[in-house]
Chains A and B, each alone.
Chain A
Amino acid sequence: MDVYLAEIRKAFPEITALDGATFEAQPGEVHALLGENGAGKTTLMNILAGLYQPDTGEIWLGGQRRDWRSPAQAITAGIGMVHQHFKLVPPMTVCENLLLGLPGSLWLDRRGGATRIRAFARAHDLAVDPTAPVWQLSMGERQRVELLRLLLRDAQVLILDEPTSVLTPQESQTLFATLRSLARGGRTVIFISHKLEEVLRAADRVTVMRGGRAIATLQAGETKAEDVAALMVGRSIVPPLPAASARGAAVLVIDRLSVPGDRRPLAVSDVTLVVHAGEILGIAGVAGNGQRELAEAVAGLRPIACGDVALAGKAIGHASVRDRIAAGVALIPEDRLHTGLVGDMTAADNLILKSYRTYPFSRCGVLNHPMIRRRARDALNRLALPIPPQAPVRLLSGGTMQRLLLARELGEDPKVIVAMSPTRGLDVGAAAGVHQALLDARSRGVATLLISEDLDELLILADRLAVMHDGRISTVLERRVFDRPRIGLLMAGGTA
C-alpha cells in the first residue's frame, strides 16, 4: 500500500518535533528513515500509526486521505508498528500475546491458536515456539513475535522503530532478510535507524530526516556513506568559539576507565580523557554507546570496573558521591526532572539539594528557612527566572527547570562540570541560555565534559571533541579540524 505523509507538523509543549515533514513509501520496498536522535523519525511514524494526531498535514494511504482518531483505526487500515520497546506481556506465552487483541470468540482457543501460529510462523520463516512464555525469549525472538503479530493482523505497512538496537549482528542480518522477503511479497516496509551502514546495506531507499523535516530521499544503492552522513548532521559552518583564557592545567583525568553496564559487562571500556581548566571537551555519539555510564562513573553514581578518575591530581574513582560533590564535581544529569531535581518540591528547596547540610542553610542540623528563602529569591532574581516561590518545580517549563538546575550546579563553584544533553527538549532561546551559562563557567576556568547527541551543540561549544562508540573513545579532535562528515562516520561506528 502506498504511504504518503504530506507536510506533517507536530508540536509538543516544549518542542516542535515535526516541522512540515513529507514522506513517501511504496509497496515492495524496504524504506529506511535515517536521522540523529530528535530528528523526528519516531514521531512521524507514530503519526502514521495513529498514536499521535498531527497538528497540520495529511496522511494518504493507498490513494485515500485518512485521518486517524486512534491507533485501532490505523491497525484496521493495515498499518502495523513494532516499537523500540516491545509491547509484549512477559509472563504470558507467545500464543497468548498474539491472540491478544485479535478479533475472535469470547473463549481463548489456546490449542487451535498455537497450531495456527506455528503454521503461520513457518510460512513466513519466523520460527518461534508458541507455548514459550515471552520472558524466556531472546530479544531477537521477541521481535519475531512482534512481527508475527502484525502479520496475523494482515498489516500491509510494517513500521519498525530502531529494530536492530537490541539485536546481535547475526540477528540483525536475519531480520533484514525477513524484511526483504516481506517487501517482495508486496508489503511496504519502513524501518527507523540512526546506523548509517545498516541503512545503506538493508534498505532500497533512504529518507534522511533532520530537525523535524525530511531533507532528502535517496536510492541506497547509488549513495555514498559520506554523503548521507553529511546530510544527516547538516552542513552549517562551525561558528567561532570565544577565545579561551589559554588552556589551563589538567583538572579531570580519566585514566583507562572501564565501567560496567546495566545489561552488558562493560558499557565503557578503556577510556582515557583529560579535561583542562577553562576547556569544554565534547563527547559526541549516538545514545546508548556508554556516554551515560561514563558520566555516572565520573560523578560516583556507578561503580567502576577498572581504571581511575582523578580530580586536580587526587584519585576520586572510589570516593562517595558526597565526597566528589565536596571536591567540586557538578553533574547536569540527562533526566533533569527525575534525577536532577525533586519535582514535588519548590525552587528554594531544590536549590539547597547539595548544600542543605552546611552553613548558612543549616546549623547543628536545623534548617534556616528564612535564609534558604532569601538566597533562593536572590538567585532567581539574578537569573531573572520567573518562578513562583511555592510552586513545585515539576510545573515549570523544561527550559526554566534546566536553568534552575544550572544555577544550583554552577553556583557551588565547581571545578568540573559533567553535562549530559543539557539542552535536550529545550527551545532555541532556552538552549542559548544554557550554552551561555556553560561558556561563562568555561571562562571562569571550569573544566567541562559535555556529552551530547546534538552535534550542532558540540560544534558550537566544544574546544575539543571525541566520539564515543560502543564504549570506546575515538581520537580527540582539535577544534580546527572539526569536520561533520568525518564525525558523522565516527558516530556511526566507521573509522576515519
Chain B
Amino acid sequence: MIRIERRAPLPPRAVVTLRLGGVALAFGLGAVFLTATGHSPLPAYLDMLRGAAGSSYALEQTVVKAIPLALTGLGVALAFQAGLWNIGAEGQLVMGACLASWAALTLPWPPWTLLPLLILLGLIGGALWALLPAIPRALFGTNEIITTLLLNYVALLWVDYLVFGPWADPSAFSFPYSRAFADAARLPLLAGTQVHAGALFVPVIAAALTFALRHTAWGYEIRVIGRSPRTAVYAGMPVSVDILIVMALSGAIAGLAGMGEVSGVIGRIQQGISPGYGYSAIIIAWLAGLHPWGTVAVAVGFAALINGGFALQTSGVPAAIASMLQALVLFSVLVSDFFATHRVIVRRGRPATVAAPEMRAQP
C-alpha cells in the first residue's frame, strides 16, 4: 500500500536544499532530452550560463530582466500573504506604465519634477487597477481570481487603443508605439552599468515588506487573514479594510514595475511592454514561499533562465527546447516542493487485526 501524507514542516534550510536539488534534477532531465535530440548537453548549458552571466553585459541584462519580475513578484506575494489571489499583476503593471506615460507625454512640468511624478503615477495606476476588483471582493466576496485576471486584458487593450490612437507617434508610420519620452522622464542608468535606477526599487520594497509583514501589528493581521480568515473575523480584525489596503499596495508595486519598464528600459509606451512578467510573478512568488527576499532571489534566477534561453537559441538549439528547459526547472522545483510538505509511505498489506475469536452462531 502506498500512501501520501502531510509531514511536519522541514527546517527552511532543508527546503532550500530540496529545491536546489529540484533544479539540478531539471538540468539532468534536460541533458537527457538534449542528447536524445542530437545536441551535446554540456556546451548547451555553458552557452546558457554565458548568456545569463558570462560577461558584465550579460549579468546586467539579467538584472534588468529581474527588476520587473521581482517587483511584480513582491506585489503578488503580498496579496497571497493575505489570502488574495491577485492574478492581475500584468494588468496593474501595464496601467502603472500607462499613467506614468501619460505624464511623460503630456505634462509640461519642470524637468526635475517629472521622475518623482512618474514614480507616484506608476504606483497610483497600479493601485487603482487593483482596487477595481478589490472593492467587490471586500464588499460581496466576489472571486478576485477571475476579476483580476480579466482586467489584465482590459488593460492591454486600453494601451493598444492609446498607442494606435491618441498617443501614436506621428513619425512611426502607425507602428504601435508612442513618441519617445524626454530625457527628464527617463530613469538614469546606475553608474557605469546598463542597469536603470529602477533596480533600487527592488531592495527598498523587499525590505519594507519584510518589516511590515514580520514586525508590525498590521502585518500580523494580514498573516492571520491570509491563513485563516474565519479566525480573523473571530478576533475582530477589519478584514474588508485590510483587503482593500493589501490589494492597493500589491497593485501599486506592480504599477511601479510598469513605470520602470517604460521609463527605464523602453523610453516610450508601446504595444506589449511586458512579455508576461505579471504571470511569471505568480510562479516566482510561490517558489519563494512568499518571502520578500526569496522572491527577489527567485526573480534573478528566473531572469537568468530567460536570458540563458535566448543565448541557447542563438547557438542553434531550437527555441522550443529552451522553453522546455525553463518549464522543466519550474516543474522539478514544484515537485520538490511537494515533497517538502508530504511524504510517501510504502507499506505492505494493512495492519493486522487481532486474531478472530471462535466462530459465532448467527443471532
Contacts and interface: CB of A to CB of B under 8 A. Distances in A.
B42 to A, nearest CB: 43
B8 interface: yes
Interface string B317-328: 000000000000
A54 B227 CA distance: 35
A341 B215 contact: no
B216 A353 contact: no
A362 B228 contact: no
Contacts of A345: 223-224, 227
A317 B287 CA distance: 46
B348 interface: no
A343 interface: yes
Interface string A352-391: 1110110000100111010000000000000000000001
A4 B217 CA distance: 59
A176 interface: no
Contact of B224 (A299, A301, A320, A353): A353
A343 B236 contact: no
A60 B228 contact: no
B217 A362 contact: yes
Interface string B214-244: 0111111101100110110111110000000
Nearest to A388: B8
B345 interface: no
Contacts of B204: none
Interface string B172-211: 0000000000000000000000000000000000000000
A491 to B, nearest CB: 28
B353 A55 contact: yes
A271 interface: no
B160 to A, nearest CB: 37
A341 B227 CA distance: 10
A4 B361 CA distance: 10
A392 B228 CA distance: 13
A335 B227 CA distance: 15
Contacts of A60: 360, 362
A340 B234 contact: yes
A353 B356 contact: no
Interface in A305-324: 320-324
A344 interface: yes
B354 interface: yes
A3 B353 CA distance: 21
Contacts of A58: 356, 360
A492 to B, nearest CB: 29
A400 B363 CA distance: 44
Nearest to A321: B236
A333 interface: yes
Nearest to A341: B231
* B9, B236, B350, B362 pick with most chain A CB within 10 angstroms: B236
Interface residues of B, number: 27
Contacts of B236: 300, 320-325, 354
A342 interface: yes
Nearest to B232: A342
Contact of A2 (B9, B218, B356, B362): B362
A56 B354 contact: yes
Interface in B16-40: none
A354 B350 CA distance: 45
Interface in B232-287: 233-237
A338 B230 contact: yes
A258 interface: no
Contacts of B217: 356-357, 362, 365-367
Given A58-B356, A365-B216, A367-B216, A301 B227 contact: no
B221 A356 contact: yes
A343 B235 CA distance: 14
Nearest to B233: A301
A392 B9 contact: yes
A321 B234 contact: yes
Nearest to A7: B357
Nearest to A4: B363
A339 B230 contact: yes
B39 to A, nearest CB: 43
A395 interface: yes
A356 B220 contact: yes
A228 interface: no
A405 to B, nearest CB: 11
Given A301-B234, A338-B230, A369-B215, A352 B220 contact: yes
Contacts of B231: 338-342, 353
Contact of A354 (B218, B227, B235): B235
B219 to A, nearest CB: 8
Contacts of A342: 223-224, 227-228, 231
A300 B234 CA distance: 9
A369 B356 CA distance: 57
A63 interface: yes
A143 interface: no
A24 interface: yes
A2 B350 CA distance: 27
A365 B213 CA distance: 12
A10 to B, nearest CB: 12
Given A4-B363, A320-B236, A353-B224, A365 B230 contact: no
Contacts of B353: 54-56
Nearest to A369: B215
Interface string A40-70: 0000000000000111101010010100010
A314 to B, nearest CB: 17
A274 to B, nearest CB: 25
Contacts of A365: 216-218
A391 B9 CA distance: 8
Contacts of B223: 342, 345, 349
B62 to A, nearest CB: 34
A440 to B, nearest CB: 23
A367 B215 contact: yes
Contacts of B233: 301, 321
Contacts of A65: 356
A63 B362 contact: yes
Nearest to B354: A56
Interface in A385-408: 391-392, 395
Nearest to B218: A365
A50 B215 CA distance: 50
A71 to B, nearest CB: 15
Nearest to B224: A342
A53 B350 contact: yes
* A324, A342, A369 pick with most chain B CB within 10 angstroms: A342
B34 to A, nearest CB: 41
Interface of B: 8-9, 215-221, 223-224, 227-228, 230-231, 233-237, 350, 353-354, 356, 360, 362-363
11 contacts: A2-B362, A4-B363, A55-B353, A60-B362, A325-B235, A333-B234, A341-B231, A354-B236, A356-B220, A367-B217, A369-B215
Given A345-B227, A366-B216, A366-B217, 10 more contacts: A53-B350, A60-B362, A65-B356, A301-B234, A322-B236, A322-B237, A323-B236, A341-B228, A354-B236, A356-B221
Nearest first, the 4 A-B pairs at minimum CB distance are A322-B236, A321-B236, A362-B217, A342-B228
